[in-house]
Amino acid sequence: MSTFEAIFFDFDGVLVDSEPVHHLCWREVMGRLGVDLDWPTYQSTLRGHSGKPLLEALCSLKEPPLPFEAVQAYYEFKNDLFRDTVMRNPGQLMSADVRLLLDDLRAYRLAVVSSARRTHVVPILESLGLVDRFETMVLREDVQTLKPSPEPYRTAAVRLGVERALVVEDSEAGAASGRGAGFEVIMHPDYTHLPWLVRERLANSLVQREKISSTGGAPSALR
């Protein structure tokens, strides 16, 4: 098996542990609309979605469903609330394990692939001093269709000119996007598990490469 040329990271729930903050902000909004949005419901119904699909899922949390316009009216308020909350202390969003992982992946080409807006992703990465670690970022403004469409991950691959990438995701929608683009996917909803899973997969890839090399094959060189 060929080694990976690049690693593509989702943002929320993968690079930063921001999903609990998103939940609290949406819970504040939905409370104003008569819905108590608990964590299990957020996890099962909303995680990994953005834009119109997210708003439609929020509307469906009440019976009869809330008017789309009623939820949409709070969208910018929620985004502002999230930004204000995380920017008070952005360092708390990234674990030491994730930061160390990024330091240890300098042999790979890295990209952020997210359905979030640029105004959401870039300020956080800037505050963490990590913008330059990624060769490209494919965000909401860069594509016509969001995850689970394969377009975001295909776009990242075209930009970097790579064919073999490992996708790291925390949601089914994101995993479907990565697989649809033809890439291997690591998906786990627990932020703390992902650094270990990435290290394990890359270590296995290296072992496979060395086995091929020892039998006279010609594997791709590690970057």
- Residue 103 in tokens: 């330091």
Place of tokens 């593509």: 8
- Residue 43 in tokens: 């996890």
151 and 179 share one domain:
yes
34 and 71 share one domain:
yes
Q: What is the pLDDT of residue 51?
A: 84
Q: What is the pLDDT of residue 50?
A: 83
Q: What is the pLDDT of residue 208?
A: 53
Q: What is the pLDDT of residue 155?
A: 98
CA gap 170, 11 in Å, rounded: 9
* Comparison of pLDDT for 17 and 220, the residue scoring more: 17
Backbone angles phi and psi of 212, in degrees to 5: -60, -45
Mean pLDDT of the chain: 91
128 and 205 share one domain:
yes
- Do the beta carbons of residue 170 and residue 191 sit within 8 Å? yes
Supply the range of the domain harboring residue 55: 19-87
Q: How many structural domains comprise the chain? A: 2
109 and 13 share one domain:
yes
CA gap 176, 124 in Å, rounded: 26
Neighbours of 72 (CB within 10 A): 15
Please check whether residue 162 lies inside any domain of the structure: yes
Question: Could you tell me what percentage of the chain is helix, strand and coil, using 3-state DSSP and rounding each to the nearest 5?
Answer: 55, 10, 35
Taking the CA of residue 175 as centre, how many other CA atoms within 13 Å lie in the half-sphere pointing to its CB?
10
Please check whether residue 221 lies inside any domain of the structure: no
The confidence band for 223, taking pLDDT boundaries of 50, 70 and 90, is: very low
